[in-house]
Amino acid sequence: MSKQFNVAVVGATGAVGEVMLSVLAERNFPVGELVALASERSAGNTVQFGDRDIVVRDLATFDPASVKGGGIDIALFSAGGAISKEYAPKFAAVGAVVIDNSSTFRYDADVPLVVSEVNPDAITQRPRGIIANPNCSTMQLMVALAPIHRAVGIERINVATYQSVSGAGRSAVEELGQQTASLLRCEPIDPQRFPVQIAFNLFPHGGDFLDNGYTTEEMKLVWETRKILGDESIRVNATVVRVPVFYGHSEAVAIETRDKISALEARALLEQALGVVVVDQPRAGGYPTPVTHAAGTDPVYVGRIREDISHPRGLNLWVVSDNIRKGAALNAVQIAELLAKAYS
Ligand code: A2P
């Protein structure tokens, strides 16, 4: 029998955790024991894993070494930065490999930051037993841009994101739904999860404001791009915008390459690229959107590929993907698959 792995999902009741469970089941990951963990509030509730109901356990009282067959082998964390900071080292200390979806460890030199299609080999260098999953916006950008960077070099990236609310968790999805319903009934709304009304609106802000005028969500695109592509010289300029879409992030991307690449060549390159689906016909609807293509699916969709008329080595792309799947849960499971492959 091939090796099986005891897997913990931390944050199993959350927007990402729930999809981690379904992706593990869909892809037939070789799970031995599956442990679903969340806060004390959810302990005793059940979550779905394939056709099984799994009882949620309280992370605070769970001992990762206690699971039969040698304890937890792989722990997928998506319960927020504070939880990762406190508990990921505890899981790693008993031999589990932690795949962490928070930003807590992403910028540490001794923690690899991995996009499965881009830098899978980086998983082998994990002295702390922790592998970081990139930010959802960086993730889809890297899947689309790494093939171009390898071919002709990218000097500069200008990106504006159109981020769905699910990236901010289950409560944000509920807020968009409730605000939409209230406003359609002409009832007042009271923003809680977001700083301003999100239904029928959008706003240019994600994370915290920094001294340089950018936000943390914008700087993640800078820091993570350089780390994943292993190229500190790439210049990245990002504007993060939250839009009233439930699932699927979109990005308007303008790059400046080292060597000229035509739109035709870029399209051909991306058609062969791992994890990418090109949807690029110059007609109404001949481009990907969160609702028509991305939500609930795995690929990173690329459309509107065209040469930038304002720059001799400029190229424009429109990049869309499900932020909860490839942007979080799917990539975490793909990293787990890379680990499983390395063990077998
Ligand atoms: P719970 O449902 O018990 O609060 P989302 O990103 O969709 O908001 O989900 C966050 C996830 O993190 C949920 O599964 C949530 O569990 C979990 N979580 C939040 N706080 C804690 C905590 N103190 N201990 C363990 N899990 C937590």
pLDDT of residue 2: 74
pLDDT of residue 171: 97
Active site residues: 136, 249
Nearest alpha carbon, ligand 1 atom 22:
39
- Extract the residue ranges of the chain whose pLDDT is less than 70: 1
The finding on whether 41 has its CB within 6 A of some atom of ligand 1 is yes
CA atoms of 192 and 277, how far apart (whole Å)? 36
The single-letter DSSP state of residue 120 is G
Write out the DSSP string of 257-290.
ESS---HHHHHHHHHHSTTEEE---SSTT-S--I
The finding on whether 170 has its CB within 6 A of some atom of ligand 1 is yes
pLDDT of residue 236: 98
| Helices (runs of H) and strands (runs of E) counted in the chain | 7, 14
The finding on whether 11 has its CB within 6 A of some atom of ligand 1 is yes
Ligand 1 centroid to Cα of residue 38, in Å, is 5
Which residues are paired to 254 by β-bridges?
A: 158, 316
∠ CA 153-164-18, nearest 5°, is 100
Q: Which two tokens stand for residue 119?
A: 């830098």
Widest CA span of the chain, in angstroms? 62
Question: pLDDT (tens digit, 9 = 90+) per residue, 96-155?
Answer: 999 999 999 999 999 999 999 999 999 999 999 999 999 999 999 999 999 999 999 999
Q: In sequence order, what are the residues at sequence separation of 6 or more whose Cβ sits closer than 8 angstroms to the Cβ of residue 91? A: 8, 64, 72, 75, 98, 129
Report the half-sphere exposure of 44 (CA within 13 A, side-chain side).
Answer: 2
The single-letter DSSP state of residue 113 is B
Nearest alpha carbon, ligand 1 atom 20:
39
Phi, psi of 343 (to 5 degrees): -85, -20
pLDDT of residue 288: 99
Closest Cα partner for 8 from 40, 31, 41?
31
Answering whether pTM is above 0.85, one says yes
Report the half-sphere exposure of 320 (CA within 13 A, side-chain side).
Answer: 25
Ligand 1 centroid to Cα of residue 208, in Å, is 21
Write out the DSSP string of 187-231.
-----SSSSS--TT--BS--S-B-TTS-BHHHHHHHHHHHHHHT-
Question: pLDDT (tens digit, 9 = 90+) per residue, 254-296?
Answer: 999 999 999 999 999 999 999 999 999 999 999 999 999 999 9
Ligand 1 centroid to Cα of residue 11, in Å, is 5
pLDDT of residue 343: 87
Phi, psi of 84 (to 5 degrees): -60, -45
